[in-house]
Amino acid sequence: MGHYAWVLGVRPGYEDEYKKRHDEIWPELAADISAAGLRNYNIFRHGLTLIGYFECDDLPAAIKALGESDANKRWGEYMAPIMKLDADPSTGFPYLLPLVWRMD
């Protein structure tokens, strides 16, 4: 199983809106994320910095599935005005952080 993390930003003044939108996440998006194979998906916020963590067995397949998800595309458009996005142009997915250390 792979362990992955990303860092993005929320625009100033949109912290509460970001939280509200995730509290009301679309069921079809949550279903597509699960179907793509992402598990234990968490997002943390420190000020304007967002840190995401998830586990996945087949990251290339998950990225492909999410790239084909209509709900994921719509969510990206919905969230774009309130976020600072930094995505890998080869995948459209946020740049992933290298795992440096892990304790089981």
Whether 97 is covered by a domain: the verdict is no
Output the pLDDT for position 91: 80
Q: What is the number of domains present in the chain?
A: 1
Q: Give the model confidence (pLDDT) of 36-61 as tens digits.
A: 999 999 999 999 999 999 999 999 99
Whether 96 is covered by a domain: the verdict is no
Domain with residue 26: its CATH number is: 3.30.70.100
pLDDT surpasses 90 at 9: yes
List Cβ neighbours of 67 (8 Å cut-off, separation of 6 or more): 91, 92
Which residues are part of the catalytic machinery? Answer: 22
Domain extent, residue 71, equals 2-84
One DSSP character per residue, 18-70 reads: HHHHHHT--HHHHHHHHHTT-EEEEEEEETTEEEEEEEES-HHHHHHHHHT-H
State the Cα angle at 43 between 83 and 102, rounded to 5°. Answer: 130
